[in-house]
Amino acid sequence: MAWLLQLERRRRGTRAGTRALTCFWQAVLGLRWFRDRTDPARLARDHGVARATAYRYLDEVITVLADQAPDLHQALRQAHEQDMTYVILDGTVITSDRLAEKTTSVQGKTIDLWYSGKTGEHGGTIQALSAPSGFPLWASDVEPGSVHDLTAAREHVLPALYAAASRGLPTLADGGYDGSGIGVHTPVKQPAGTQILDVDNRAYNALLRGLRSLGERGFALLTGRWRTLSRITASPRKISSIMQAALVLTHLEHQQT
């Protein structure tokens, strides 16, 4: 991270000795925030800088890391190059402080745009792709918490997944993505009434569930290791950059970049 920050300072033409912290200590400041969710006021005190400076340094760390995040096509190309037999699509809501922004629901009611009925909290919806092992490969831009996973997937990822499926790389997903389209495999729904699924469909669902369950490891790696993702106190619109920065940190830590 210090090396990336040094490159950024060179790009900006920052003169040596004009910053309160070296690239190394700025990297330490950023890692403390990501790893332990340390309050920026405490970071400022510990590193001997003004609170505004700590926030500015932290924003620089997030931006520098997020700029290194792979885009969707790079992630799918990596999956092909590593001969993955499939990728796993999943979504989650990253909890945030409340944002007083309204929208109209499909029922015509006025609701909080960033409120997620899925979690019962305010936050932003993120889509992610994982390898068969559950290792995270890619994370999307954020959508408000009121946006359904399938709607967010259609906006950010499904068109590329269709092309990948045509080249032999299918996608596994849970029932929330039912109706995604060709190449995206979801469980067969239980029939209405007293009917039961055919034994072949039950076997298919069990197999799909066993393979797809490892996709939960992707978000667990991100949110468990980088505790700042447990709750974002900045603007929910910054969740995209923070998530993608955490993804890059995970890739660096596991030497996957």
State pLDDT tens for residues 238-249.
999 999 999 999
The predicted pLDDT at position 76 comes to 96
Q: What is the mean pLDDT of residues 137-163?
A: 94
- Does residue 55 surpass a pLDDT of 90? yes
**How many other CB atoms are found less than 10 A from the CB of residue 61?**
24
Q: What's the pLDDT at 217? A: 85
Helix (H, G, I), strand (E, B) or coil at 248: helix
The pair of three-digit structure tokens given for residue 236, joined into one six-digit string: 């929910």
Closest CA to 87 of 15, 28, 160: 160
Residue 60 φ then ψ, to 5°: -65, -40
Task: State the average pLDDT for the chain.
Answer: 91
Instruction: Note the Cα 65 to chain centre separation in Å.
Output: 14
109 — pLDDT class (breaks 50, 70, 90): confident
Say what the pLDDT of residue 107 is: 77
Q: What is the mean pLDDT of residues 105-113?
A: 79
**Cα dihedral angle (29, 30, 36, 42), rounded to 10 degrees?**
40
d(CA 149, CA 83) in angstroms, rounded, equals 27
Give the largest Cα separation in the chain, rounded.
75
- DSSP character for 14? P
Burial label, 41 (beta-carbon count in 10 A; 0-12, 13-18, 19+): exposed
User: Quick one: tokens of 257?
Assistant: 């970049």
